Amino acid sequence: MATKTALVAGARGVIGGNLIEHLDRAGDWKIIGLSRRGGASQGSIRHLAVDLLDREDTAVKLSSLTGVTHIFYAAYQDRTSWAELVPPNVAMLTNVIDAIEPVAPHLEHISLMQGYKVYGAHLGAFSTPAREDDPPHMPPEFNVDQQQFLQRRKVNAKWSWSALRPSVVAGIGLGNPMNLAMVIAVYASISKELGVPFRFPGKPGAYTSLIEMTDSGLLAEATVWAATNPDSRNQAFNITNGDMFRWSSMWPKIAAFFDLDVAPPLQMSLSDVMADKSDIWDAMVAKHALTKTPYSDVSSWQFGDFVFAWDYDVIADTSKSRRFGFHTYVDSEAMFLKIFQNLRDQRMIP
């Protein structure tokens, strides 16, 4: 019997979607997913279509959610510059809290999804391995503003908060602006279709720098752990698979899965070279009897360019989460291969 009610903002994303699946498997949660598109409700899962940027729409749609005990916030609005990201992303979080706090008397916890931008990873080489208590960097950064909002709001509230800081999150999800696994899978599939070798497209230094990943399932487990473990209240945690690698060693292993030859890296913008591949993708869908998915939904080349441009180490210290009791580990190579096989099984890629 469900004893807790989770409100998941960003329910259609890789992070939110996998979190909902994890909560559903646990069996003791009622789950309400929020997204702009909504979704089909079933079992203990209810989906609501809501524009979180619209304060009035959010207040009206959430006004009846009196039983919410936990808010899991993983919503995101993309913009073209770091400064432009701040107003919409802070506003959405604010609108959710303003709508739920007055009507949900048993609200216990608010979980905030962040990332390494807190450490300045998007700006250039940063101090590694990054620690949760590292000094701040020059703003703007919406992740920081969101946490500061929760900390201010917490002063007069009974609920607690937690902040999760994953590395690049890998999982299955369509139409998501930050899904590296789909970028790699579609890039590899089209490379094979065209008979060209699998080349790493990023900066030369990125091929040999250290990087780490965060499996979406592991992240879901860690998110619920932080939200329900009393010792984790009002804390931020780096969450990663627990290993690190260099693309120079991972790239050939991914190529082997797709039965592709590896050629030397060649720096190129995926946003540019993959922009004209829509017709090729549509032909592949027909040829291989794939699930009919628009080319615009299967990959986000801009995000691939962003990650593959990191010609510096992108790693964080996860000892704090281990000290507090979270010990799950995922092998990153096995994670990638499992995701690719799942995409094949679902007929998303050939």
Answer yes or no: is pLDDT of 176 > 90: no
Q: Are residues 207 and 218 in the same domain?
A: no
Task: Give pLDDT tens digits for 317-339.
Answer: 999 999 999 999 999 999 999 99
Residue 57 within a domain: yes
Which amino acid belongs to residue 297? Answer: D
Q: Are residues 43 and 11 in the same domain?
A: yes
Q: Are residues 258 and 270 in the same domain?
A: yes
The predicted model gives 220-226 an average pLDDT of 98
Answer yes or no: is pLDDT of 2 > 80: no
Q: Are residues 76 and 141 in the same domain?
A: yes
- Tell me which residue range forms the domain holding 77: 4-168+214-239
Residue 33 within a domain: yes
Q: Are residues 305 and 187 in the same domain?
A: yes
Q: Are residues 32 and 111 in the same domain?
A: yes
CATH number of the domain bearing residue 293 = 3.40.50.720
Q: Are residues 55 and 110 in the same domain?
A: yes
Instruction: Determine which of 95-109, 165-179, 241-255, 274-288 has the lowest per-residue pLDDT on average.
Output: 165-179
Q: Are residues 20 and 142 in the same domain?
A: yes
47 CB neighbour count, 10 Å cutoff: 20
Q: What percent of the chain has pLDDT over 90?
A: 95
Task: Give pLDDT tens digits for 85-102.
Answer: 999 999 999 999 999 999
In the prediction, which pLDDT does 85 show?
A: 97
pLDDT band at residue 288 using 50, 70 and 90 as cut-offs: very high
DSSP secondary structure string for all residues of 6-74: EEEESTTSHHHHHHHHHHHHHSSEEEEEEESS----BTTEEEEE--TT-HHHHHHHHTT-TT--EEEE-
Q: Are residues 83 and 8 in the same domain?
A: yes
In the prediction, which pLDDT does 86 show?
A: 98
In the prediction, which pLDDT does 173 show?
A: 74
Q: What percent of the chain has pLDDT over 70?
A: 98
H helices present in 235-318, as ranges: 247-257, 270-273, 278-287, 295-298, 301-307
Q: Are residues 233 and 191 in the same domain?
A: no
Residue 143 within a domain: yes
Residue 350 within a domain: no
Answer yes or no: is pLDDT of 1 > 70: no
DSSP secondary structure string for all residues of 225-256: HHHH-GGGTTEEEEE--S--EEHHHHHHHHHH
Task: Give pLDDT tens digits for 245-273.
Answer: 999 999 999 999 999 999 999 999 999 99
Phi/psi of residue 105, nearest 5 degrees: -65, -20
Q: Are residues 111 and 182 in the same domain?
A: no
Residue 323 within a domain: no
The predicted model gives 276-299 an average pLDDT of 95
Tokens of 131: 């620690």
Q: Are residues 224 and 104 in the same domain?
A: yes
Task: Give pLDDT tens digits for 177-213.
Answer: 578 999 999 999 999 999 999 999 999 999 999 999 9
Considering only CA atoms, which of 213, 249, 240, 227 is closest in space to residue 338? 213
In the prediction, which pLDDT does 84 show?
A: 98
On average, the pLDDT of the chain sits at 96
Count Cβ atoms within 10 A of the Cβ of residue 257 and give its class: 0-12 exposed, 13-18 middle, 19 or more buried.
middle
Residue 322 within a domain: no
Residue 191 within a domain: yes
Residue 341 within a domain: yes
Domains in the chain: how many in total?
A: 2
